[in-house]
Amino acid sequence: MKKAVIIGSANLLNLKIENLLLNNGFQKVEIYKNPSGLNVKRHTWEDTECFIIDLDHSETDLVLMIKDLRQHYAANTIPIISLSGNSDLNSLKRAIAAGCNEFLVKPFDMSLLLARIYKICVINKKTFADENQNDQNSSDYTKMQNVEQTADSVKDKDAFTLRWVKDFEVGIPLIDEEHKELILHFNQLYLLMKDGRGHEYFEELLLFLKNYVAIHFEHEEELQVKAQYPDYEKHKKMHLQFSSKVYELEQEYSGKQITDRDLIHISIYIRDWLYRHILIEDNKVGKHILKSN
């Protein structure tokens, strides 16, 4: 079971983060609002994928807790993301020195927190994106649960559209612009789905995706060949998988009215691509290209 642990005293923020995590692959979230009774060394931390620690705590110095976690064999490799208010940058510096992996200054965008979580945790969640590889490992019931959960999150007025955050940047202007386009289309789909009008946008989205896979992937692959990117073949294969999905969508739905449920699947697939591929794989490519220039 993939679990995240939130330590922080702000109820509303805890709930928002819990919601974000449960809608993005985590199966369980433990929240410790008052961590004074929490014995770091006695806790097993089994299945914990990451800690999110809000340093703005009136009663407890949570930097000391980060130090304890880093000294405990069962927790010393689990990623920690620290949160802090603008006025408390000193705590943030102490948290980094104590061993936290990432930090965010409040107020922050939930897209940014999710980007950081994806970056530091490998979440083996079951998504539409994995269906080709793992179909046999997941029951229909699990799939239904995933879709229902996401359907609720789409209706939820606190659910968020994606915003371009620095973590998405690969550092190559053409590629970044093309990635921004994909985010724009995802957001458009998402906003219309919230209004129950997603199906009106589907044809346009499909047309965009067909162009996107033809042009954007070619741009990226050309740059990789030029820069002799060592994982070119692997990367190309991922592009091919996405292209095949777009082709399948076209075959399956052209001329047909798409259902809300299928639209939800498609939006999850695109969101996963944004976080898994662009944030991680395209970023590796960007780093390699910038280094080789």
Residue nearest to Fe ion (CB): 282
Q: What angle do CA 237, 112, 272 make, to 5 degrees?
A: 30
Please choose, from the candidates 256, 1, 283, the residue with its C-alpha nearest in 3D space to the C-alpha of residue 167. 283
Name the minimum Å distance from CB 278 to Fe ion. Answer: 5
Segment (H or E) for 71: helix 62-71
The values of phi and psi at residue 107, to 5°, are -75, 140
Name the minimum Å distance from CB 240 to Fe ion. Answer: 11
- Which positions lie near Fe ion, rule CB under 5 A? 220, 282
> For residues 98 and 129, which CB has a smaller minimum distance to Fe ion in the complex?
129
> For residues 180 and 261, which CB has a smaller minimum distance to Fe ion in the complex?
180
Segment (H or E) for 200: helix 198-226
Name the minimum Å distance from CB 271 to Fe ion. Answer: 14
Name the minimum Å distance from CB 54 to Fe ion. Answer: 33
> For residues 262 and 282, which CB has a smaller minimum distance to Fe ion in the complex?
282
Paired strand residues for 102: 81
Name the minimum Å distance from CB 27 to Fe ion. Answer: 29
> For residues 49 and 220, which CB has a smaller minimum distance to Fe ion in the complex?
220
Token pair belonging to 54: 């809000």
> For residues 102 and 282, which CB has a smaller minimum distance to Fe ion in the complex?
282
Is the Cα dihedral 81, 129, 279, 288 positive or negative? Answer: positive
Pairwise CA distance, residues 92 & 269, whole Å: 35
